[in-house]
Amino acid sequence: MSLLELVRGCTFDDFLLAPQLGELPSRNPALVDLSAPFTTGIRLQRPLVSANMDTVTRAAMAIVMAEEGGIGVIDRGFRSGVIEPQVSEVAKVKRTQHGVVADPRSIAPSATVGEARQLMHAARVGTLVVTAPDGRLAGLLTERDVRFVGERLRVDERMTPRERLIVHRGSLGLPEAEQLMVAHKIKKLPLVDDDDRVIGLITSRDLIKHREHPFATRDALGRLRVAAAIGATGDYLERAAELLRAGADALVIDIAHGHSRVMERAMRAVRARFGDVPLVAGNVATAEGVRFLIELGADAVKVGIGPGGGCTTRLATNFGVPQVEALVRCAEAASGRVPLIADGGVRRDGAIVLALLFGGSTVMLGSAFAGTLETPGETVLKPVLMPESQKMVRVPFKVFRGMASVGAVRDRLDLEDADPDELEALGAEGLEVSVPARGSARGVIQNMLRHLCSAISYGGARSLDELRRAFAADPGRFLIRLSAAARAESFQR
């Protein structure tokens, strides 16, 4: 029986995997290769993506995701025509960490301390490179140099002058920079060219971040990577231009029904205007859908119609494909030409390995992060009756909602005062729920990775890719289709 026949009508909870001879010496995620492509050109060390939903991914979540080796997609759930807030979330991610700061903020020696403070505040940097009018390095000015001193002092009265600085001529790798910093006990290392013009700045703070997050997803300049959603209508082209200017590493055209003429128009327009920018498109759940997006030039395709935790599409329209069947259909059609992102329906960590074996290169998660510290939105205290003590206690909650829920649609359309019945008539396809607030998403991600490593061990492989290859070669060796009783035994606790 073909894999597709085996999984028809099935989703994650329909299967267990039969344990194989364990080969993995350690289940420590630091020692197991979990890398996977997010798009044809961007590889992640960890196969996890946070969903572009307005209660899931803004800068805070995208930073944790990238630091932990995955990537976040900043949602476009800001009002149409209002582009700046999304752009500023991308910019926040891009400026949290650097490798070599390619064009560090600079100031003239004749400027005042007051001006320097303003610039540091506006650019959110703690160090300014002081450059003479001819562009040569004149000194460095740090926050400490301008603390507790008069506004009117000149920068060159407070800076560390060029002759007292350790600098490096030409470009330099981060390990070598670290050696120099240790040897000279310095925290900043300017890089200059033969004419003493600044070509970069390396800071110890950035080096520490690189050491702390060895699996982080970084761009060529050592900054964290981030993707951003743009939609397929309205302001999407202008939005894309601004997001790319802010440094977005990939664009995601995210519409509920990606196999559509609306998508075709949008993809052609994005390709015409932005050339070969990394472009993710979705969502689809069929072979025809995935081929359609690949032919239009997608660099990765998001798969999932209706499995999402905040999603009511299947209830409302009866359209959709069970997620495992969707992944298998799409993987067969894509046949490795572009990576697939398995989007939605992961309600327990065990489903992640299934999503990755059935066809997802990476897995996109929304509700799995609901309520974590890094999700946007306020925490509200709600009274809850404790069953044992019959006492009311106030418990912190956060909102998680589908992007097609009435609340999310209302916020995007600026319809605050609209009649609820009219909003319902817009055809909401999403839920809004309160979930208990919890700790950082970092712990959630790290647990997922530990569980994924355990799954690789049970599967008799030494890396994610090895497990994928073993499964693809002989799915029958792994797959156990569950009876209702077996499902209850497995997943009901």
The residues in 427-466 that bind ligand XMP, with binding defined as CB under 6 A, are 429-430
Q: Does 99 bind ligand XMP (CB under 6 A)?
A: no
303 makes contact with ligand XMP (CB under 6 A): no
Map the footprint of ligand XMP across residues 308-327, applying CB under 6 A: 308-311, 313
207 vs 428 by CB, closer to ligand XMP: 428
Q: Which residues are catalytic?
A: 311, 412
Structure tokens at 31: 């020692």
Q: Which of residues 120-159 bind ligand XMP (CB under 6 A)?
A: none
Per CB under 6 A, the segment of 92-100, 221-229, 306-314, 450-458 that binds ligand XMP is 306-314
Please select the residue that binds ligand XMP; options are 61, 364, 399, 449, rule is CB under 6 A. Answer: 364
- HEC per residue, 387-449: CCCCCEEEEEEEEEECCCEHHHHHHHHCCCCCCHHHHHHCCCCECEEEEECCCCHHHHHHHHH
What are the tokens at 386? 């404790």
- Minimal distance in Å, beta carbon 264 to ligand XMP? 20
CA separation for the pair 426, 280 (Å, rounded): 27
Smallest gap from Cβ 354 to ligand XMP, in A, equals: 14
Contact 376, 58 (CB under 8 A): yes
Beta-carbon neighbour count of residue 193 at 10 Å?
15
- Which region among 74-82, 122-130, 358-366, 387-395 touches ligand XMP (by CB under 6 A)? 358-366
Strands 188-192, 198-203: pairing is antiparallel
Q: Say whether residue 345 binds ligand XMP (CB under 6 A).
A: yes
Which one among 304, 322, 371, 407 touches ligand XMP, defined by CB under 6 A?
A: 304
- Work out which of 172, 256, 269, 482 binds ligand XMP, going by CB under 6 A: 256
Six-digit token string for 343: 């989007």
d(CA 435, CA 139): 52
Min dist. Cβ of residue 471 to ligand XMP (A): 22
Size of the site for ligand XMP (CB under 6 A): 26
Judged by beta carbon, residue 344 or residue 376, the one nearer ligand XMP is 344
Among 402, 407, 459, 460, binds ligand XMP (CB under 6 A): 402
Applying CB under 6 A, among 189, 403, 456, 467 the residue interacting with ligand XMP is: 403
Contacting positions for ligand XMP (CB under 6 A): 51, 53, 256, 283, 304, 306, 308-311, 313, 343-346, 364-368, 402-405, 429-430
